Structure 1
């Protein structure tokens, strides 16, 4: 009992019920921070360090004000939380006030004052506590291990020993350099991720989620299993903008999951489909869960190149989810949605075509301008005419805009905290040169085998990603696992895209499958069963990264012939594997036919020339056999009743 109580004490907190004064403070702080960072994205100059201090102070204060200390704590006002929020603002305010002094000192040479060291330690402790509340004790324990290594690593023997660092050296590197707490991860969160999160929040406030749902409904609602297909398409469209699997599940799943259940889908399957479809939004351009922006910073590859390269695998992923839904619906004899529930696409576009303007501007801006933050800011500004048309009252317009800004900044709390603590890990790794040692360790663990090294890296990314936002998982994994992959001779882009895929899939990987748990609360089903089934529905996402690591034609790196044959082979494999797993392809399948399709899919999934040809021949032969069986079933006479 004592151990269970301890687990509850250190468990993540829950959302707090805010009274009027707290709501006013949270709303004001959120709107001010969002407006400031949007203004910076538009081009208004603010010193980078000062903006990061303001952002981190706001994120920490919001984390303490809106999240309880643990699940057992009361959800009403807590003076401890107020004290921690005020301490966070004071700590970051100290760094802002001392910025003119700190600009003149030489890093790692000039001494830090005792007050500098004290303020830095307080800030690090506050980041650790906010992480424990918002994400969990696991990540905090991981960071403490790295910090302990920085302090005591000189006492180790062998390859993992380092020269030793004083307290001042550690603080100087982690807090006063651009390689630690205020490094690339927090920089991208503040100046890139926030813009797109705010855009998604504003779009949702202005009815964007309803628009995506209506478009999906008009396209596939009248097909067999239409409700499930609508969930797949609408979650993909909305997720490609929001980039957050959990937010996508809560937003689109709130009406798609009950609709799937009402049309005959089991609650577990409905939750799994929504979880898998929402998780894929972090893989689909233009936003890709914001990890692509971090990838640009880590690799130096332009964002447009990353987005174009990631497009085909993301479309194959959604093809797989769609086919899983399609075959399951036919196998279970599900009905399409009624005509009254499915509007025509022309009617939807005639009514809401203005929603295409900000989305088009966003896509054009991130691909053409090579300034994603500016493109996101323009897209946010282009949403204002929408709210003016939707809301006739000036008061309602102002309320909608302010609510969207507040929602966006509050949605950044988890991401901001995770990126801050990821900066501590990255800083420790760069200071102690632990990255190369870990890469060597991964290679040694796998006995020098390339495939075992890749599998080990995938497991490391999934374990790191349990309960964490995709950008933070990528930031950690990019310095822990990517060097080991690149040392195998794999190109930088596929190696980092590999990490993005497994970082995203951690949202549905048991036991800490945050997207599945969010879906379970709506579907009223077991979250672990939902997560396991979601992994099966999303199986292709666990396979594609291994393919484009060795066959970059899948990410459009190669000749036209290689790209066409590779993509065609993988697309046929997706059809074959989903048919085998769901038990339907033209007709209901017995175990023999499912086994044959599984073999054909396995041959096609390996994009080698001979195996692809053999797999394609097998697939065509099985399809012809099933077609003839289907025709025979149609032509067979109906037996008369006894």
Structure 2
């Protein structure tokens, strides 16, 4: 790797020795148990819980990740020193919490030790970010912090009044608007429970269950292996919410299976990447961004989940149709009977998995207490684990390592949400948000559509290599005000951000999901990312559609919702047929172009264009069907 890329890239996973492994396990299990207990209602002061959570996340980050890709992956004295410093810094704030609770923020003086501990903690968060996410985000955050320190020296509209070191530290570390603000709070009190649930479910065989269910449903169809990848990744991703984790978990089964049945390595990786990325859009978890949305917007979680349902279904319909049309175009055969289990056999064997999953969905939608619902679902996994592991020792090991896996899976999200808190705190302290919104308007010349496009570009750039919750937290502060100022309603504006942020997982050049798939498919990650973006093109279109047509988010009359969903589904069909070159028969260039025009018209939120698109699609379907029936089409191409 060139030296510049080595500096910019995040570190690698460290090969842990026994002391490191057991330290990671003990920190992870203790923190996971604490946060699940809090979700059940055990009272711990918010500040103390967040200090403990951040100390655990930082410690796990330094123990499990090297300083950069070129560093050795063995034991590191520097890593242990950083762990000790993290625990001491966060422990200091735990010990001083009663004192800090009594002071008046931004009024009472901070001690020199308070300021020193705060600066050390900020530096530790920056270093953990550099290791886990990369140098680019550190440079971005450093720019915002530099603006807070030196912005008073600027001239014009971007100048501010100036802040002392104490004011900056007080706002960024000791207030609820900075490091320990909404982003980290949601990570600790909401996201952890669902990530731990996904890790426990995986430990007791949940990923195999999702794969077998998908296989039994679609494995016998043409291109069954690709369709199994789509369905299983959607099912697993709706719980895990992490595109990379989804690719690694379900892709380890689905990608080799697709390649074995005739799918090219690049397309197999692309299908898995696109399907896994959609997990961050699919209720009930939605990559944890929905939890942050509730905090940022005040919209009930159940409302957000229901609003996201139709777009998520349209997305997976699109990926499924892409796999279907490509399989027919390439003449792929269904999977053999011996490889496809019976749905009844799968349910008879693994019905117990449905109980915690059903409890999770019911709790999220009915109780409107997602953290409690997640904790209940975690508890419901225990009897399922007992069925799979009747041996008490095996059961204890499964639960122990599942809890540890869950907290390890939280490292990237926790670090990203902490660094996002620093950005959000800087923006709120300097009132930079309004200035950035004005800047977006200025860049777009006041044009609404250009403002939306610029906002989408900003979100994609912010999302390079970052978890969806952190991208959302930053973009909700930077881009959402500009969108809302255009007259866009709050829910569509924020879901727009979630969709664009989620697609950063397959958007070159970073495309973390594509790189994860490439390691399994043994193919070029950039080509996988490009093909995945084509397969997931609907996800780039849908946010623009539901901004202008909120009926897709179940906002409006029932009739309008049904019509909007129906026309969008037809648009998905037409676009995928055009892109893959198959619709009942192989398509020539002209027919692909006409279907593409029909698809675009069906997506445009205007009654006239929707009618034109529907008529054009109906005419094309009749024409192609007639050609097929009359056998006038040349072999291979119609």
The verdict on a shared fold, with TM-score over 0.5 as the criterion, is: yes
| Partner residue of 2:220 out of 222, 236, 246 | 222
Of 486, 491, 494, 1:493 maps to: 491
| Paired residue secondary structure (1:98) | helix
C-alpha distance after superposition, 1:478-502 (max 9, x if no partner): 0000000000000000000000000
Aligned pairs for 1:461-610 within 5 A: 461-610=459-608
Per the TM alignment, residue 589 of structure 1 is displaced from its structure 2 partner at its CA by 0.4
Aligned to 2:211: 213
Query: 1:350-399: per-residue Cα shift (whole Å, max 9, x none)?
Result: 11111111011000101111110000000000000111011121000000
Mapped to 2, the partners of 1:449 and 1:10 lie a distance apart of 35
Per-residue deviation at 1:258? Answer: 0.3
- The residue aligned with 1:296 is 294
Structure 1's unaligned 5+ residue stretches are: 638-642
- Could you say which residue in structure 2 is the equivalent of 1:279? 277
Q: 1:24 matched to which residue of 2?
A: 22
Partner of 1:162: 160
Contact 1:222 1:337 in 2 (8 A): yes
Alignment partner of 1:96 is 2:94: yes
Q: 1:496-553: per-residue Cα shift (whole Å, max 9, x none)? A: 0000000100000000000000000000000000000000000000000001101100
Report how many aligned residue pairs link the two structures. 636
SS across alignment from 1:387: helix
Matches of 1:71 and 1:216, distance apart in 2:
37
Distance in 2 (CA, whole Å) between partners of 1:208 and 1:264 is 27
Partner residue, 2:415 = 417
| Secondary structure class of the residue paired with 1:237 | helix
- Give RMSD over aligned pairs: 1.3
Name the CA distance, whole Å, in 2 between partners of 1:634 and 1:219.
35
Are 2:627 and 2:633, in contact at CA under 8 Å, matched by a contact in 1?
no
CA distance in 2, matches of 1:634, 1:253: 41
The answer to whether the 8 Å contact 1:570/1:607 transfers is: no
> Which residue is equivalent to 1:389?
387
4+ runs deviating over 3 angstroms: 634-637
3-state SS of the aligned residue for 2:177? coil
Measure, in 2, the Cα distance between the counterparts of 1:151 and 1:222.
63
In structure 2, runs of 5+ residues without a counterpart are none
Question: Per-residue deviation at 1:598?
Answer: 1.1
SS at match of 1:16: coil
- SS of the residue corresponding to residue 335 of structure 1 reads coil
Contact 1:221 1:336 in 2 (8 A): yes
- State the distance in 2 between where 1:22 and 1:609 align: 62
The whole-number CA distance in structure 1 between the counterparts of 2:605 and 2:6 is 48
User: In 1, distance between residues paired with 2:296 and 2:158?
Assistant: 25
| Alpha-carbon offset, residue 344 of structure 1 | 1.1
1:596-628 per-position Cα deviation (integer Å, ceiling 9, x unaligned): 111111211113111111111111111011111
Q: Is 1:105 the equivalent of 2:98?
A: no
Partner of residue 624, structure 2: 626
The TM-score with structure 2 as length reference comes to 0.99
Residue 191 of structure 1, aligned match among 182, 189, 192: 189
Taking the aligned partners of 1:244 and 1:492, their CA distance within structure 2 comes to: 25
Contact 2:548 2:605 in 1 (8 A): no
Normalised by the length of structure 1, the TM-score is 0.98
**Secondary structure at 1:383 match in 2:** helix
Question: Does structure 2 conserve the Cα–Cα contact (< 8 Å) formed by 1:576 and 1:598?
Answer: yes
Change (3 A) 1:619 1:95: same
- Which residue number corresponds to residue 640 of structure 1? none
CA deviations 1:395-435 (Å, max 9, x no partner) are 00000000100000000000000000000000000000000
Partner of 2:434: 436
User: Matched residue of 1:490: which SS?
Assistant: coil
CA contact (8 A) 1:213 1:230 kept: yes
- 2:35 is aligned, of 33, 37, 44, to 37
- SS state at 1:112 partner: coil
